[in-house]
Amino acid sequence: MQHGKGPKTAPTKTEVPSTPPNRHWPLLADMPTLSHWPDRSKPFDYANSQAVAYVRDRFGIPMDLAIRVFHYAAYKKVIRFNRETRLWHGTKGGAL
Q: In this structure, is residue 57 part of a structural domain? A: yes
**pLDDT score of 3:** 55
63-80 tens-digit pLDDT: 999 999 999 999 999 999
pLDDT for the residue 26: 83
**Is 48 a member of any domain?**
yes
Q: Are 34 and 51 in contact, with CB atoms under 8 Å apart?
A: yes
What domain range includes position 65? 39-96
Q: Is residue 89, in this structure, part of any structural domain at all? A: yes
pTM over 0.85? The answer is no
Domain count, the chain: 1
Query: Domain for residue 23, yes or no?
Result: no
The answer to whether residue 67 sits within a structural domain is yes
Burial 68-88 (b: 16+ CB within 10 A, else e): ebbebbbeeebbeeeeeeebb
Asked, for residue 63, whether it belongs to a domain, the answer is: yes
Report the alpha-carbon distance of residue 55 to residue 57 in Å, rounded: 6
Asked if residue 5 is part of any domain, the answer here is no
Q: Which pLDDT belongs to residue 14?
A: 43
Residues of the chain with pLDDT under 50: 10-19, 93-96
